[in-house]
């Protein structure tokens, strides 16, 4: 025998009525727009007239206007209690109205009826009469339908149920709740509080945050990472809050959690990334089965607008860095120009169009793993237009010349790049059997320049200083340096529409221990 939850509800005069009250009790939860609820109102009236002086009688409606209409339509002798907050309906875990409960004097459940089955209600009336030693209700049962299904309780509506769960005592939410006056515009409030990246945010109500948390099995209070520069605890809950504000969906949350873990490593160095005046920003590449599962775009317009998953996953990471870590423009974020990627930049690789194997496999993961890799880039995507090359050697050479502008044409060994090869360019490259290693080698070959051409001059002071050059031998000055210090500094992925010979490049930041190293993390899916 289970104990029914205690409650205190107001009647139509605002007087509080509590359960349990030391007597047997009949409790009925209903709503006005349910035909079956209206069907049972005369039955409840007959129960009240027969047993009302012997049992506590509670009839609670789920909407204020509906309660008024029930009163006008049926004029019952009993009070209609106010459960418009739906807290009692939620606590009683009902999914259908009407739901009728009979309890003993201590509040223990003795019987529960759902919907209207005439024989069940008639039997309850007889049993109650026998138990209380009084006459059963005066009612012509044969005039009532044999069976009527109930209606869905408002407490199980998906939007409302999440709110009720968030308000329950065992709610997993622990973040500070900010109350604002009804007259305050919640969107403007979030702008004024500095939560926003400059674009409108979705208000992170308890029900939305709980819905977002359904995307992971991790404990909401688990600290995923400590986020610089303020060293804030990035809990699963706080990350979910920012994912809501970004406009994400629950199924995106595992990707965002993995990305937060990645950027908070020493190798990635998110503090340096966000503090540099160069305007660096995270760029996320997603691999594995999750791409299709959550509807990411890897084809037409892959690096632009139009995909909710691409846009909001990248934006959520950036909001976590801002709101949990405290990296905000004018504070520790000191970018001279900034760049649009500081709003968002996240895209999946079109692995099925990649003949060389996907990025995550190249980085040591299994092909069936879902993985996010986070790079640090200062600009991009920069378009590399080559609609004319018909051989792999020509095309890879063109890609190399396009990449030579990273940082500056005379800045060699300075950075890394993320090269996004479009499908039509892929076809040209594989026609001659080019591998990723061949592409990288060709890029390094065509970008080789003798040190003598990389010395500061009257055109540009970028490059080797004249003092350094004067200390070199002629042989040393003729040594050729490729654009990138290592072939591995050229990261290659495949994405984009089938039509169009336009590949793209993201230019990196400082590499290695003095800057940022790309980090990959496996995505823990539900």
**Residue in 9, 12, 10, 75 with CA at minimum distance from that of residue 38:** 75
Decide if 320 contacts 225 (C-beta within 8 A): no
Is there a cis peptide before residue 381, judged by omega within 30 degrees of 0? yes
Decide if 151 contacts 115 (C-beta within 8 A): no
Average pLDDT over residues 175-186: 88
- Report the chain's mean pLDDT, rounded to a whole number: 95
Instruction: Count Cβ atoms below 10 Å from residue 390 Cβ, excluding itself.
Output: 10
Share of the chain above pLDDT 90, in %: 92
Structure tokens at 51: 């047993």
Q: Domains in the chain, start-ordered, CATH in brackets?
A: 7-156 (3.40.30.10), 186-447+482-522 (no CATH)
Decide if 118 contacts 146 (C-beta within 8 A): yes
Decide if 526 contacts 254 (C-beta within 8 A): yes
CA distance 503 to 496: 8
Residue spans of alpha helices (H) in 52-198: 64-74, 87-91, 118-132, 158-167, 186-192
| Each residue's pLDDT tens digit, 276-317 | 999 999 999 999 999 999 999 999 999 999 999 999 999 999
Say what the pLDDT of residue 402 is.
Answer: 97
Decide if 285 contacts 345 (C-beta within 8 A): no
- pLDDT confidence tier of residue 169, bands split at 50, 70 and 90: low
Question: Given a cut of 90, is residue 352 above it in pLDDT?
Answer: yes
Distances (CA, A) of 47 to 52, 62, 78, 135, 136: 7, 21, 10, 11, 8
Count the alpha carbons within 13 Å of 162 in the hemisphere toward its beta carbon.
Answer: 13
Decide if 495 contacts 284 (C-beta within 8 A): no
**Residue in 261, 290, 268 with CA at minimum distance from that of residue 349:** 290
Query: Which residues fall within 8 angstroms of residue 498, CB to CB, at 6 or more apart?
Result: 299, 423, 424
Say what the pLDDT of residue 341 is.
Answer: 96
Report the number of secondary-structure helices (H) and strands (E) in the chain.
18, 22
Say what the pLDDT of residue 170 is.
Answer: 65
Average pLDDT over residues 122-142: 92
The model carries a pTM of 0.78
| Each residue's pLDDT tens digit, 182-207 | 899 999 999 999 999 999 999 999 88
DSSP state of 432: T
**Residue in 427, 403, 398, 401 with CA at minimum distance from that of residue 414:** 403
Average pLDDT over residues 246-266: 98
Look-up of token digits 């004067």: 470
Average pLDDT over residues 219-223: 94
Share of the chain above pLDDT 70, in %: 99
């Amino acid at each position: 025998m289970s104990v029914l939850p205690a409650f205190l509800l107001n009647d139509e005069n605002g007087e509080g009525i509590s359960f349990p009250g030391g007597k047997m009790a009949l409790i009925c939860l209903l709503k006005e727009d349910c035909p079956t609820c209206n069907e049972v109102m005369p039955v409840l009236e007959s129960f009240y007239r027969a047993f009302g002086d012997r049992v506590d009688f509670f009839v609670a409606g789920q909407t204020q206007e509906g309660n008024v209409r029930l009163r006008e339509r049926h004029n019952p002798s009993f009070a209609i209690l106010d459960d418009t907050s739906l807290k009692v309906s939620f606590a009683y875990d009902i999914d259908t109205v009407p739901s009728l409960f009979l309890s003993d004097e201590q509040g223990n459940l003795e019987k529960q009826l759902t919907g209207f089955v005439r024989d069940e209600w008639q039997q309850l009336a007889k049993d109650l009469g026998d138990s209380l030693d009084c006459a059963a209700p005066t009612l012509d049962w044969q005039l009532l339908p044999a069976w009527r299904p109930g209606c869905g309780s408002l407490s199980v509506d998906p939007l409302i149920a999440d709110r009720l769960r968030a308000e329950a005592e065992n709610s997993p939410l622990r973040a500070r709740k900010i109350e604002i006056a009804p007259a305050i515009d919640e969107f403007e409030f979030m702008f004024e509080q500095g939560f926003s990246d400059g674009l409108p945010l979705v208000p992170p109500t308890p029900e939305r945050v709980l819905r977002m948390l359904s995307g992971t099995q991790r404990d909401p209070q688990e600290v995923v990472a400590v986020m610089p520069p303020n060293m804030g605890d990035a809990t699963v809950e706080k990350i979910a809050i920012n994912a809501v504000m970004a406009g994400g969906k629950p199924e995106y949350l595992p990707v965002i959690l993995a990305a937060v873990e990645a950027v908070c490593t020493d190798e990635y160095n998110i503090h340096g990334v966000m503090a540099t005046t160069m305007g660096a920003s995270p760029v996320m590449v997603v691999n594995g089965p999750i791409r299709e599962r959550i509807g990411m775009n890897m084809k037409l317009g892959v690096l632009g607008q139009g995909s909710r998953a691409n846009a909001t996953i990248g934006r959520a990471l950036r909001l976590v860095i801002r709101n949990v870590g405290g990296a905000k423009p004018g504070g520790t974020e000191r970018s001279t120009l900034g760049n649009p990627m500081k709003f968002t930049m996240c895209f999946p690789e079109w692995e099925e169009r990649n003949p060389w194997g996907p990025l995550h496999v190249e980085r040591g993961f299994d092909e069936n793993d879902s993985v996010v890799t986070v790079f640090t880039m200062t600009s991009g995507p920069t378009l590399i237009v080559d609609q004319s090359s018909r051989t792999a050697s020509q095309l890879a050479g063109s890609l190399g010349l396009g990449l030579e502008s990273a940082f500056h044409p005379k800045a060699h060994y300075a950075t890394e790049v993320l090269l996004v090869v479009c499908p039509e360019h892929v076809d040209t490259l594989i026609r001659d059997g080019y591998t990723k290693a061949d592409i990288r080698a060709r890029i390094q070959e065509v970008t080789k320049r003798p040190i003598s051409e990389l010395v500061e001059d009257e055109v540009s002071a970028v490059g080797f200083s004249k003092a350094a050059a004067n200390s070199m031998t002629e042989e040393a000055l003729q040594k050729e340096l490729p654009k990138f210090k290592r072939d591995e500094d050229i990261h290659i992925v495949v994405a984009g529409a089938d039509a169009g010979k336009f590949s793209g490049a993201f230019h990196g930041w400082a590499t290695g221990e003095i800057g940022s190293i790309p980090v990959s993390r496996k995505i823990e899916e539900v």
